[in-house]
Structure 1
């Protein structure tokens, strides 16, 4: 069976080989809330779809219009089996409850590197999830890794790192064109304050951060703040 949880996902669990992310546009905060409940109902009334699905989480964007879906699968073949046999019936029920949802496609990733400011009981609870999505001009797996490594070098060299960041989990898209950073912050305001510091981004002005921000081949970058709205796990 399926049960709800308020706990945020464990991004470091070793049995997740295929983290998948997608976004839906729903239009308004009221429709965000309705869609979250529709997703919960569609899943809770059905058996958990597969042992290989570790968890499924849903987030509401602070823009009042967007939902982020994050599912943690053992491998992609398990997801493909679910998509062929059990996914559409859930989508049909959700669309009946909230017509007009615009879906922007599923993206497949592998986690590459993570950094945390604290672990275990000392780690603060996330108050906000920030998704940084970077797109490159063409597929290049080495460029993906090099850019993430450059971010970690900039973080290590930062003379005044912001204290509001809890963790950063960098994922590489399997098509070689994108990097997604799933970052946990103590609050949305902490992230807003970090962006307000001098420089173009949350880091202090430095050659290392300038290198990250002007990396050759980057064509697009977006930053969105989210609240964790729903967690679903096997009972």
Structure 2
């Protein structure tokens, strides 16, 4: 174990129910580095499986789970209050990883789909950050990591299209605004923008599509969720304490700027 923070801290990770997902692997990395973790996801059964998997890997893992719709303001506040009054150490990091794709084209996307994609991918991080940031201010240590996407940087072209690109671009603006406003409290806020990652987010995608996505990457492969998780956890470390308001690209050369 090589803790990224010398004092016991808790990391809150959304979108953590899928054991193939970035959220789960981010939580697993936090556990490896000595943090307690709170797993949040709308999938309650998946959360139970994820928590069990973490404890099987490390019997001493401090894990708490809460089923949560990240677009529900009252539910988000209730979970934040429960975590604050619970047995785990103070919250030192929030990783807003929960997200949904949207392959619908611009001319075909419905308003209902548009609203749903923005609610999960953009409003969710806003609500979670607003709910947990006061706990970080009080504790004197805070790191927020928001999940964006290479799709936000080049307007699509991976799998999801305009609605997703708009939501993830909004995450970049949210990150920069939060970084400026929370800096006086010693809280850093950064965005991570992955390219194509080998997870289950692309529901309905076939093998041919997955091979084509990998072939379009200069490194000729999809990212492993563990690689994105390592970046997220590093941004939560003391070593990253002077980095804020940035977008950290991890895309295998898909987008270079």
- Name the TM-score, length of structure 2 as normaliser: 0.28
TM-score by length of 1: 0.30
Q: Which has the higher strand share?
A: 1
Larger radius of gyration: 1
**Higher helix proportion (structure 1 or 2):** 2
